[in-house]
Amino acid sequence: MSRRLAGAVVAVVGTGGLGREIAAVLRERGATVVTAGRGDGEVRLDIRDPEAGDALVAHARTVHGRLDGVVVASGVVAFGTLEETDHVVVEELFLTNAIGPLWLAQRVLPALRESRGFLAALSGVVAASPMPGMVAYSASKAALAAGLAALRREVRRAGVSVCDVQPPHTETGLATRPLAGTAPRMPEGLTPRTVAERVVVAIEGDEALVTADGLLTGQTFSDQRISGVTPASRNRL
Ligand SMILES: NC(=O)c1ccc[n+]([C@@H]2O[C@H](COP(=O)([O-])OP(=O)(O)OC[C@H]3O[C@@H](n4cnc5c(N)ncnc54)[C@H](OP(=O)(O)O)[C@@H]3O)[C@@H](O)[C@H]2O)c1
């Protein structure tokens, strides 16, 4: 299946490094983008609000008449061993990275069923390769990835696509803004542009999963399964 983005109305939740770049690539493909975030964006929302998706749908429908896709590019990170990590930080990671995106999906899916649209979200390499020193972050991203994989099967018959993108470390500055702890030294990450372009190609190609290795090698998940190439990812986040 290939999805044309020209003329589509796509909401991007999260106005950080990856959200901004994904919005830019979507616009280059001819999509109309609705930006949404806590501090800026056309729609002000907090993904920790169970009803946040309603504002997104209402805005898209009122201003553009439809909603064809949602990209979830919001998230928070924290570093430190589990024993060092305050329980409030653990809760916050799950609320923002896993529970919030699922709440949002619940609210936007009726509109996406109508448009036979798509939902894409950024989990992260840690969903597949959980890291010591990032236990709660890894667990929150693995929870999101599991939710997206199951949701994809739940809504496939309705013509709605669900895509999980698992980037390795990307140079957006996320690691310098943790809820707690300090980032370990990391090798140079990918550019936000590289990740954003891959996210959009995955949406256009109705890909279920973009792995970190797929992002580093340019392979699709099916290519990797066919060739058996699934090396351990080098970069973490
Ligand atoms: N950069 C990487 O290395 C990397 C690797 C793998 C996965 N990811 C994932 O990619 C996503 C985007 O990360 P990024 O690199 O673009 O980081 P970023 O530049 O820090 O952007 C994160 C965005 O999420 C927003 N956000 C945080 N909490 C929110 C909430 N409760 N409601 C709504 N928006 C909220 C932030 O808004 P505020 O400005 O209001 O805080 C910010 O705009 C995250 O889920 C991250 O885990 C990133």
Give pLDDT tens digits for 58-80: 999 999 999 999 999 999 999 99
Mean pLDDT of the chain: 94
Whole-angstrom Cα distance, residue 18 to residue 11? 14
Assess whether the C-beta atom of 96 lies below 6 angstroms from ligand 1. Answer: yes
Residues 6+ apart with CB under 8 A from 170: 17, 18, 189, 190, 191, 192, 194, 195, 237
Average pLDDT over residues 170-189: 96
* Alpha helix (H) residue ranges in 3-97: 17-28, 52-64, 87-94
Whole-angstrom Cα distance, residue 223 to residue 65? 38
For residue 93, report the distance from its CA to the centre of ligand 1, in Å: 11
> Exposure of 181 by Cβ count < 10 A (0-12 exposed, 13-18 middle, 19+ buried)?
middle
Topology of 9-227 in CATH? Rossmann fold (3.40.50)
Assess whether the C-beta atom of 133 lies below 6 angstroms from ligand 1. Answer: no
Average pLDDT over residues 184-188: 92
Whole-angstrom Cα distance, residue 140 to residue 78? 11
Assess whether the C-beta atom of 53 lies below 6 angstroms from ligand 1. Answer: no
Q: Which strand (E) or helix (H) includes residue 9?
A: strand 9-13
pLDDT band at 47 (very low <50, low <70, confident <90, very high): very high
Average pLDDT over residues 111-127: 98
For residue 144, report the distance from its CA to the centre of ligand 1, in Å: 14
Assess whether the C-beta atom of 138 lies below 6 angstroms from ligand 1. Answer: no
Q: What's residue 16's pLDDT?
A: 98
pLDDT band at 216 (very low <50, low <70, confident <90, very high): confident
Assess whether the C-beta atom of 38 lies below 6 angstroms from ligand 1. Answer: yes
Q: What's residue 236's pLDDT?
A: 64
Assess whether the C-beta atom of 171 lies below 6 angstroms from ligand 1. Answer: no
Q: What is the pLDDT of residues 201-214, one digit of tens each?
A: 999 999 999 999 88
Whole-angstrom Cα distance, residue 33 to residue 22? 10
Q: Which of 159-163, 205-209, 221-225, 233-237 has the lowest mean pLDDT?
A: 233-237
